[in-house]
Structure 1
Amino acid sequence: MKIQYFPDTDTLAIELTTQPVVATDAITDDLILDYDSDGKVVAITLDNYSKNVETVDLQALGVPLLAA
């Protein structure tokens, strides 16, 4: 899993896996989900991050580390 923040575009990108993206769905103007060939979510993009998220601290609590 890779989480990146791009301050120039105020975008938070979460890559859940390295599987190729075959479909993309814009859930809202600011939330985009990418899917693999099995229909599983492989990436999440949140545009206008600072306007959509109230907290300044990012915490990952209880997220299991899975072997590849």
Structure 2
Amino acid sequence: MKVQYFHDTDTLYIEFQDREIAETRDLDENTVLDLDAEGNVCAITFEHASTRTDVNHLHVEGIAA
């Protein structure tokens, strides 16, 4: 899993699986969901992230070894 914040575009990208994207769905005008060929969620993108999420604070639990 990878979390990236792009300050210059105020975009938060969360990748759950590194797979080929087969479909991209707009959940709303500022949120995009990427799916693989089987319909599994691979990533989500949040535009205007600083006003919609807490990009200044990241808390991670349960990291697999």
Pairwise TM-score range, normalised by the shorter structure: 0.7 to 0.9
Query: Displaced runs of 4+ in structure 1, greater than 3 A?
Result: none
Q: What runs of 5+ residues in structure 1 fail to find an aligned partner?
A: none
Cα root mean square deviation, aligned: 1.7
Separation in 1 of the partners of 2:54 and 2:12?
Answer: 14
Alignment of 1:54-65 (within 5 A): 54=54, 56-62=56-62, 64-65=63-64
Structure 2 match to 1:44:
44
Tell me the SS of whatever aligns to 1:46. strand
Structure 2 match to 1:32:
32
Q: TM-score, normalised by structure 1?
A: 0.83
More strand by share: 2
Q: TM-score, normalised by structure 2?
A: 0.87
Separation in 2 of the partners of 1:33 and 1:55?
Answer: 18
The one-letter code of the counterpart of 2:64 is: L
Tell me the SS of whatever aligns to 1:50. helix
1:7-64 deviations in whole A, cap 9, x for unaligned?
A: 00000001111110000001011111000000000001011001112573121234x5
Structure 2 match to 1:2:
2
Q: What runs of 5+ residues in structure 2 fail to find an aligned partner?
A: none
